[in-house]
Amino acid sequence: MQSSETVLCQCTALQVSYGRRRIIDGCSFKVGQGQVVGLTGENGSGKSTLVKCLLGFVRPKGGHVYCDPRAGYCPQENYLHRAYTVAEHLELVASLHRGGLRVDPSFLARCLTLLKLDRYLRYPIRRLSGGTYQKVKFLTAIVHRPPLLVLDEPTDGFDWSMYLVFWDLVRELVAAGTGVLLISHLVHDRQRFDRIYELRDGVVHG
């Protein structure tokens, strides 16, 4: 893995609260170009809230945040439009040029094949299995080949082979310079990270 000085995502003394409850209390960490950074922690420790705050979905109470505006994001929630087909969803996503990024049709076609999604293009999203749904979410996050990827438990529901395909694709993007921030509960993911941060009691340890 390369260790470049280019920082794609950084927060300093970040504080986030929901009402009176302080979720994040003084987090500081960064993700650089070509790095795979793991974010771990107990259920409910605030990992998803932290990445939402980095991406601008949640307003922080204090601290400083920087995040590359072209970041790709795979949220934990099942947000996909149930009435659309996979093809319609991808057509809409491909028409959006986040931060000026464009979709390379050949990369999209290759991802569809690797993720075995090509056979599901005409399926309504509401009829997809959990793993296939998750693959569509992951593809949506990477389809623009963003310089920063923020993935919140992206492999939930993947079978073994798909888990390996997932890491092959991540490695390919990282080799091209993408920085990755990945929330994971899988112990065996640890060996794949360049750095691991653990969120405990609202503070990042790592």
Pick the stretch among 89-97, 110-118, 155-163, 195-203 that binds another protein (CB under 8 A): 89-97
Pick the stretch among 21-29, 83-91, 172-180, 187-195 that binds another protein (CB under 8 A): 83-91
When asked if residue 66 is in the footprint of another protein (CB under 8 A), the reply is: yes
Q: Which two tokens stand for residue 26?
A: 């003084």
Name beta bridge partners: 188. Answer: none
Least distance (Å) from another protein to the CB of residue 190?
A: 29
When asked if residue 203 is in the footprint of another protein (CB under 8 A), the reply is: no
In the 8-state DSSP scheme, what is residue 118? G
Q: Which two tokens stand for residue 111?
A: 């991802």
Q: Which two tokens stand for residue 49?
A: 């809230």
Task: Give the one residue of 83, 161, 187, 188 binding another protein; rule: CB under 8 A.
Answer: 83
Pick the stretch among 88-96, 115-123, 160-168, 192-200 that binds another protein (CB under 8 A): 88-96
Least distance (Å) from another protein to the CB of residue 59?
A: 4
CB neighbours of 145 closer than 8 A, spacing ≥ 6? 101, 104, 107, 173, 176, 178
Closer residue to another protein, CB minimum distance, 165 or 183: 183
- φ/ψ of 118, rounded to 5, equals -60, -30
Question: Per-residue x/- mask for another protein, residues 28 to 47, rule CB under 8 A?
Answer: --------------------
When asked if residue 62 is in the footprint of another protein (CB under 8 A), the reply is: yes
Give the span between the Cα atoms of 66 and 55, in whole angstroms: 9
Residue 167: Cβ within 10 Å count: 15
Least distance (Å) from another protein to the CB of residue 69?
A: 10
Closer residue to another protein, CB minimum distance, 69 or 130: 69
Beta 179-183 vs 148-152: how paired, if at all? parallel
Q: Which two tokens stand for residue 137?
A: 């979410």
CA-based torsion, 58, 66, 200, 134: positive or negative: positive
When asked if residue 163 is in the footprint of another protein (CB under 8 A), the reply is: no
When asked if residue 53 is in the footprint of another protein (CB under 8 A), the reply is: yes
Give the span between the Cα atoms of 7 and 14, in whole angstroms: 17
Q: Which residues bind another protein (CB under 8 A)?
A: 7, 10, 53, 55-66, 73, 75, 77, 79-84, 88, 91-93, 95-99
